[in-house]
Amino acid sequence: MANYCTKCGTKTMLMSGTIYLEPDAEPYESGKEEKSRTNIDEIDRHIIARFCENCDEIVNTFNE
Footprint on this chain of Zn ion (rule: CB under 5 A): 5, 7-8, 10, 52, 54-55
Tell the smallest beta-carbon distance from residue 10 to Zn ion (Å). 5
Tell the smallest beta-carbon distance from residue 30 to Zn ion (Å). 40
Instruction: Give the residue closest to Zn ion by C-beta.
Output: 5
Residue 36 or 54: which CB sits closer to Zn ion? Answer: 54
AA letter at 62: F
Tell the smallest beta-carbon distance from residue 22 to Zn ion (Å). 30
Contacts of 22 by beta carbon, 8 Å cutoff, 6+ apart: 40, 41
Taking CA atoms, 47 is separated from 10, 17, 23, in Å, by 21, 6, 19
